[in-house]
Chain A
Amino acid sequence: MDDVNHFRRLCLVWLLASVIATPLVVFVLAPGLPPGNGSVQASGQVVDNAVLLGVSTPVALAVLVYFFYALVAFRERDQSAVLDGPPVRGHSGVQTTWLVVTTAIVLFLAAYGSIRMLEDGSGGGQGPNPIAKPTGAAGALQVQVIAQQWKFTYRYPSYGGLETADLELPAHRVVALHVTSLDVIHSFWAYQLGVKADANPGVDNIAYVQTKGPLTFNVHCAELCGVWHGYMFERGRVVAQSQFAAWIHQQQQQYAPVQKSLVPYSKQYFPDPQRRGG
């Protein structure tokens, strides 16, 4: 059999495999993948993952099918003699095609990822001056996330700098999370909301999230921060607007005595350099 016939058969197998597998991956597997639809940003990540999977499935299949085909078709059947294959050292057409196709894929992926990210910030931490803002970011609810060894606390500057031990967010609202740390580097990971932002001492790292309906979400520290890093997790809640107002009011009452002794709200806090220990 000659090159062309081998190649035709190979392409046929690949096409068949891709046509079956890609829709399955994109439409069946991908929509169910984490982080789910807990927020606009989380849903965006699910869509993004589906696109990436849709592109990478045929690519991976191409390599796999090729290898399986070639290894079976060109295996040495005669083990007794050592015979050589044809001394082919390259094929400029194939090389050029490969270069063009892979470049196109890479440029598409980079462009798509950038556009997706710029659309709503994708829930990632963007430092003190974010450029990727979701619509309605100007009127966002400001919430400060303060990480320290080994817990998170939260401050609501629009409610008098109230500091609480629990995170509650109103539903259907744009929230700007200002993530910072009092000691070492932590990372605030609100899993179902699709939010992750590193907490650095002295840095105001802003991540946007647009909440959807009521939801309980997991918060976990995602950057190694010392001995009890593994235990730095808790739950947060997205609740209806009215419930949120009630909760804030109740928290203000509860923490009123402590509030007076707190340092004033600031976008960054600097740990005392003499006290490196936690």
Chain B
Amino acid sequence: MSAIAVTADRRPAWRRLIGFNLLTGIVLGIVGWLIGDEIGKAIHAPSLDYYSDSAGQNDISILLGYLFGVIGFLIGLGFANYPVRRLLGHPPTLAEHEDEGEGVGRYFRLCTDHKVVAIQYIIGIGVFFLVGGINAMLIRTELLQPNTHVFGANQYLTLVGMHGAMMMGMMTSVILGPFANWLVPLMIGTRRMAFPRIEAFTFWLLMAAGVILVTTIFFGGFQTGWTGYAPLSDQGTAGYDAYIGFFALIGVSMCLLGFNLLATIITMRAPGMTWSRLPIFVWSVVATAVLMLLAAPMLIATLLMAALDRTAQTAFFIPGNGGSPYLYQNLFWVFGHPEVYIVALPGFGIVLELLPVFSRKPLWGYRLAVAGMLGVSLLSFFVWQHHLFVSGINADLRPFYMLSTELISLPTGFIFLCAMGTIWRGRIRFTVPMLFCLGWVFNFLIGGISGVFLSDVPSDVTTHGSFFSMAHFHYTIMGGLVFTLFAAIYYWGPKMFGVRFNDRLSKIHFWSLFIAFNSTFAPLFALGMLGMPRRVVTYPANLQPLNDWVSVSAFVIGLSMIVFLVNLVWSLVLKREPADPNPWRSKSLEWQLPTPVPLHDFDTFPVFDEDPYPYGVERPGPPAFAPAGGAG
């Protein structure tokens, strides 16, 4: 298969556990935590105990514990080896542990093969997606009854915060992590990312971040929700430090992911892959990566300010000492609104990438779609104060933010128009990925229309901060991101994993998810209009029937996810029916490769002479290239 001679590892199993791998990483992570904790305790002096700390915890030692823990974890994984070699003047290399065979072991250590990193991402993020999902189930369990409580108020808010942070933080990479890392090199005709070590680094950092967020439960949780508003954060228990650690690492990971993707797409396109032939998914990656690269640093800075307020007595957000809570809100949303589009944009790309395949037509309005994505990307930096319409910040600027927010619906409208143009007179096939794309169309339409009410100040006065806005962003994020994520999994899964999914289970998954999703979130618009604020542990008794309906529907979403897991286990582990190399008869490059994709992707680089949508015309053939291990 592979062009590279692979030497099988014949060492006994226990021997193979020793070395730079996940196990060592965990051990050194714990050691690092202990070291950081001790240093923190040594620094912590009575003079720094200026602000009373309700939990009796020492924020400095906890934050240093996280910092050193992450450093230990990364050293254990082997991330320090190359930097140390470089420190000693050894010349640069591009990869690490790529050629270690086909074993399972490479998934548990630093590996710079973009296909391995993609699989690591999908499994690793999947685990935390599950955690976030279980949080949601627990939240809905609590809300079954207004006055009988399953959880305490603090536990409940911690669940809400963890759910939000997990879904808004870690899930920013849920499409770019697995699919951009896997697809971008194959789509633009290269064998790797520009900086393969950074690619692996973003993944392992994300895993460390996820674990840190979960540790909040040992330190009293956090009460601030995923937005972490100051000055509530300043009085928060030590669990808030976990939020800071989590989100700051997510920010670093996001920034580097965007950086790496941009560098790759800008410099490493194969001959003939001009900007106007770039697959539309790659364009959506460009638009997203720009936002990641530029918006995430602001988040990191903001969280570091919050950390300084909690540990070093600065007063960025403390009004009595010359700081301002408005500062936090501004900085957070300058990051936060682009962040919303970081979550949404890859979905646009997936829908527009898949519709041509299942309509058997070229993408309609390619330039318009590109303009739409870049337009959304650019405009998203100018709308942040629409989160603050009633906060009293710059009230005079509200007409401007109303306009800029509503202007975003123009480029978003382009995406819809291109989707509509693409299916017109096509030969539409209702495969599972196609169903998820159509689900996106419906959900995102509702999400977009409900957004109009939130962008309009008079209407926003009632809907702001209520379940209405909660329903709105679940329609755009869950209805947008999660549906396109599943579209991508069902579409590219056969290529990535080399197996076919069970069609019946996949269809059950789609229909149950689609119906339960709408049945969960549509009533939330009503609940918001009826006066139910977000993040409350109790509510008026007359809202109970509606809340119960929502909760039961949410449990059906949970069941639907179980169907998906069963499908995964059945198809990937038990049945393992080999997939057709090109089951969808797609004309784009990644489907012309053998399944599974060989270690070095291509022997010769492809030469492109048109975009990947030559449907309805006689094409001379797939791009000229030799797949790895092929004829060459």
Whether A and B touch (Cβ < 8 Å) is answered with: yes
A interface residue numbers (CB < 8 A to B): 3, 6, 33-35, 41, 44-45, 48-49, 52, 56, 59-60, 63-64, 66-67, 70-71, 74-76, 79, 82-91, 94-95, 98-99, 102-103, 106-107, 109-110, 113-114, 116-118, 122-132, 179, 183-185, 187, 189, 191, 194-198, 200-203, 205-207, 218, 220-231, 270-278
- Of B36-44, B175-183, B228-236, B495-503, the one touching chain A: B228-236
Verify B52–A86 contact, CB threshold 8 A.
no
Across-interface contacts of A187 in B (CB, < 8 A):
390, 465
Smallest CB gap from A131: residue in B: B396
- B315 close to A (CB within 8 Å): yes
Give 1 or 0 for each of B429-462: 1 = CB within 8 Å of chain A CB.
Answer: 1100000001001100110010011011111111
Q: Which of B394, B458, B460 contacts A44 (CB 8 A)?
A: B458
Complex formed: what's the CA distance from A6 to B426 in Å?
Answer: 13
Verify B402–A90 contact, CB threshold 8 A.
no
Verify B426–A85 contact, CB threshold 8 A.
yes
Q: Which of A35, A125, A129 contacts B390 (CB 8 A)?
A: A125
- B271 close to A (CB within 8 Å): no
Across-interface contacts of B449 in A (CB, < 8 A):
56, 59-60
Q: Given that A91-B421, A274-B50 are contacting pairs, would A231 and B538 also be in contact in the complex, using a CB cutoff of 8 Å?
A: yes
Across-interface contacts of A41 in B (CB, < 8 A):
461
Across-interface contacts of B535 in A (CB, < 8 A):
224, 229-230
A-B contact count (CB 8 A): 307
Min CB gap B437→A, angstroms: 11
B interface residue numbers (CB < 8 A to A): 50-52, 54, 153-154, 156-157, 223-225, 227, 229, 231-232, 234-235, 315, 318-321, 324-326, 359-368, 388-396, 398-399, 402-403, 406-407, 409-410, 413-414, 416-417, 420-421, 423-430, 438, 441-442, 445-446, 449, 452-453, 455-462, 464-466, 529-531, 533-540, 585, 614-617
Across-interface contacts of B225 in A (CB, < 8 A):
224
Across-interface contacts of A118 in B (CB, < 8 A):
399
Across-interface contacts of A196 in B (CB, < 8 A):
390, 461-462, 464-465
Across-interface contacts of B325 in A (CB, < 8 A):
184-185, 200-201
Across-interface contacts of A83 in B (CB, < 8 A):
360, 427
8 more contacts with CB within 8 A, not counting A195-B461, A227-B154, A229-B536, are A75-B429, A84-B617, A89-B362, A114-B402, A207-B390, A222-B466, A271-B319, A278-B235
Complex formed: what's the CA distance from A123 to B465 in Å?
Answer: 15
Of the A-B pairs whose beta carbons lie under 8 Å apart in the complex, a sample of 30, sorted by A's number, is A33-B529, A34-B462, A48-B456, A60-B449, A64-B445, A70-B420, A70-B426, A75-B430, A79-B429, A84-B360, A85-B360, A85-B616, A86-B361, A89-B364, A90-B368, A95-B365, A102-B413, A113-B455, A114-B398, A114-B457, A117-B402, A124-B390, A124-B458, A129-B395, A185-B229, A191-B462, A191-B531, A198-B392, A201-B319, A276-B231
